[in-house]
Amino acid sequence: MSVVTRFPPSPTGHLHLGGARTAIINWMYAKQNGGNFIVRMEDTDKGRSSPEFESSILNSLNWFGLDFEKPVIRQSDSAVNHRKIISQLLDSGKAYRCTCSLERLEQLRAEQRSAGLKPRYDRRCRDREISASTGTPFVVRLKIPESGSIKFGDLVQGSVEYQNAELDDLIIARSDGSPTYHLSSVVDDIEAGVSHVIRGDDHLNNTPRQIHIFDALNIKAPVYGHIPLLHSVDGKKLSKRSGLGNILSLAEEGVLPNALLNYLANIGWSGDNGEVHQKEKLFEKFDLSSISKSSARFDINKLYWFNQQHMVTSPPSSLVKIFKTFVEESEKFDQSFFEKVIALYTGRANTIKDMAEKSFFFFKKPSDYDSKARQKFINPQALIILSQAINRLQNLDDWNRQSIDGELKRIVAENDIAFPMLGQPIRIALSGGTNSPDISQTLNILGRIESLDRMYFAAENLRS
């Protein structure tokens, strides 16, 4: 059987973490089995759907690097086929028109609740002959068997069974003739040849209803797999409106697509949790049956760990483009300069944005100095030693890390002082504070002219 998986977002908002995880798992399963991964926009809610959200979702999938079949399928393009299938089910006697009013249905539900019964439709119209030209508004319902059960093997949940007596006669068409979610979803899956439906376990209760539609059409239902929903560390469901739930917000923080993909692919999966892989290797390791049935917990700190690991293992040249988006007047600096700064900070930052914030002084000369650092480390003797360092460094034959480091150590030895007596004033001069990487590396990357310029400036301005 040729494997075809699908991801069917509604373009009513940006792609969130839960949706992204579902898309990634569908993509991995298709890739692992030599199949195809399709994207279907469920855009029938015209009041809430928008081209902007559709573009945002597709951009997020492309950001991850999830390749899918083109063109993108739009549910709204299948409206004629949906109505055709509704008519087919009516003509075959597998569905019927129901003229029960909302008032009657509300009264029925209230009576059932009062009697301690589960609210469900009483099938009043099931055996009535109701014409389409009745003049009374009607919906179309699917005839669900009144006895027996629906059983299916779920790739994640195992064997699942629902008693038909617990199911309503499902509405498959509204009073305006438009299809409901269940009907359109099944028809679109048939049209696309979907073989495997992998989705959140909040859809588990929808599955017996949809299998009944497949049965009514005499078409074999796809294989199902229902993955647990994504929750926060405290166990609360991540919502679309959550700041953490938005893919774009994480991208804007400088989280790398491969890192987020890697983490979402691993989360809630017992087989390879914690392993760092590039996208191309993920689907080789993936095992859908190893996904836990319990809710998956999204931990932002674990994501940052994955992100740092991916930054460390990525060539600095591959991070320059995104890094530059966080640097003002980035055009003033060349590729080599960016690569050196990135190499210095990959193990010191959680995200690219964090890296840019920590290394800001490489791109902007300090105009002021941290008051606590100044009070602690700047005194007349420190300024004398700083001036001495300026004179010695400007006369170096070779400006590189080794020669700079050697000269600084000689100054420390000659003055019989601890290294911080020299190092901290230089740090303050270069960065405005005392939080900077190795001094020799920092001086080397900034270069002779820029380093000495900052040290001259500090020597003058720190006297007051």
Tokens 């027996």 belong to 148
Helices (H) and strands (E) in the chain, counts: 19, 12
Distance of alpha carbon 59 from alpha carbon 333, whole angstroms: 29
* pLDDT (0 to 100) of residue 273: 59
pLDDT tens track for 288-344: 888 988 888 899 999 999 999 999 999 999 999 999 999 999 999 999 999 999 999
Distance of alpha carbon 32 from alpha carbon 198, whole angstroms: 14
User: Residue 127: what residue type?
Assistant: D
Query: Model confidence at 266, in pLDDT bands (50, 70, 90)?
Result: confident
Q: How many residues in the chain?
A: 464
User: Residue 26: what residue type?
Assistant: N
pLDDT tens track for 372-396: 999 999 999 999 999 999 999 999 9
Query: Model confidence at 235, in pLDDT bands (50, 70, 90)?
Result: confident
Distance of alpha carbon 191 from alpha carbon 291, whole angstroms: 29
pLDDT tens track for 127-146: 999 998 888 999 999 999 99
pTM of the model: 0.89
* pLDDT at residue 236 greater than cutoff 70: yes
* pLDDT (0 to 100) of residue 289: 86
* pLDDT at residue 205 greater than cutoff 80: yes
Query: Model confidence at 282, in pLDDT bands (50, 70, 90)?
Result: confident
* pLDDT at residue 360 greater than cutoff 60: yes
Nearest to 142 by CA among 213, 84, 76: 213
Q: Considering the chain, what is the average pLDDT of its residues? A: 93
Cα atoms found within 13 Å of the Cα of residue 190, Cβ hemisphere only: 20
- Please work out, in degrees rounded to the nearest 5, the angle formed at the alpha carbon of residue 304 by the alpha carbons of 300 and 308: 170
Query: Model confidence at 232, in pLDDT bands (50, 70, 90)?
Result: confident
* pLDDT at residue 413 greater than cutoff 90: yes
DSSP state of 327: S
* pLDDT (0 to 100) of residue 296: 84
Pick 45 or 186 by higher pLDDT.
186
Query: Model confidence at 270, in pLDDT bands (50, 70, 90)?
Result: low
Secondary structure (DSSP) of 67-113: ---SSPEEGGGGHHHHHHHHHHHHHTTSEEEE---HHHHHHHHHHHH
* pLDDT (0 to 100) of residue 242: 53
* pLDDT (0 to 100) of residue 246: 77
* pLDDT at residue 243 greater than cutoff 70: no
* pLDDT at residue 245 greater than cutoff 90: no
Distance of alpha carbon 56 from alpha carbon 59, whole angstroms: 5
Task: Give me the percent of the chain exceeding a pLDDT of 90.
Answer: 84
Residue 437 preceded by cis peptide, ω within 30: no
Task: For residue 200, list its beta bridge partners.
Answer: 227
Q: How many CB atoms lie within 10 A of CB 140?
A: 25
